[in-house]
């Protein structure tokens, strides 16, 4: 499976480049409604904007070091869709941000992991996510099964969740 990037409009705003499918976006929107949301990996902001438009209060963590111009583009997209009050952008790594959020006793109803796709990084992000996930919350990880570019996602999730999870396209979901 390969999830190609494409430009998507959320209606009334600019096109945003993403590899999140329509079905995955619908799942995430449903999970985000009325929830505090933590997003690990934002790129150009498609999922953060989409989850905020769906009613989520999104904290988006991304160092914005891997894709030139991604921070400026994400900031512009958040403003263009008028969700700046619903999206907090933390320009840092999950390695620094997640422990700090946990120390502050933050809790999230939805955590969407789509950051570094190396197995060790996925294990790190999911481990901290489980500490930050509220009872009854949802953990969603993107790019499961995308073996061409992201084999570490499947490797880490299969180790951490041998019983599996719900799957929509490449979105692996575990409910607490």
| CATH placement of domain 30-175 | 3.40.50.150
Rounded distance between C-alpha atoms, residue 100 and residue 67, angstroms:
25
Q: What CA–CA distance (Å, rounded) separates 106 from 137? A: 13
Alpha carbon distance 121, 80 (integer Å): 31
Structure pTM? 0.97
What are the beta bridge partners of residue 139?
A: 111, 174
Contact 76, 49 (CB under 8 A): no
pLDDT reported for residue 44:
98
Evaluate if residue 1 carries a pLDDT over 70.
Answer: no
Write the pLDDT tens digit of every residue in 126-163: 999 999 999 999 999 999 998 888 899 999 999 999 99
Spatial distance between the Cα atoms of 114 and 174, rounded to a whole number of angstroms: 15
Domain regions of the chain by residue span: 30-175
């Amino acid at each position: 499976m390969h999830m190609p990037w494409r430009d998507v409009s959320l209606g009334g705003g600019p096109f945003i480049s993403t590899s999140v499918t329509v079905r995955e976006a619908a799942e995430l929107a449903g999970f985000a409604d009325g929830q505090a949301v933590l997003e690990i990996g934002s790129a150009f902001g498609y999922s953060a904007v989409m989850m905020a438009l769906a009613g989520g209060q999104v904290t988006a963590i991304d160092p914005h070091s891997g894709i030139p111009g991604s921070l400026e583009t994400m900031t512009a997209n958040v403003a263009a869709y008028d969700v700046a009050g619903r999206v907090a952008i933390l320009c840092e790594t999950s390695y620094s941000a997640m422990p700090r959020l946990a120390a502050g006793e933050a809790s999230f109803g939805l955590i969407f992991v789509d950051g570094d796709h190396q197995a060790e990084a996925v294990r790190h992000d999911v481990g901290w996510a489980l500490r930050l996930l509220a009872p009854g919350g949802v953990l969603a990880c993107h790019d499961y099964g995308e073996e061409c570019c992201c084999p570490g996602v499947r490797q880490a999730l299969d180790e951490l969740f041998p019983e599996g999870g719900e799957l929509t396209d490449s979105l692996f979901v575990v409910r607490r």
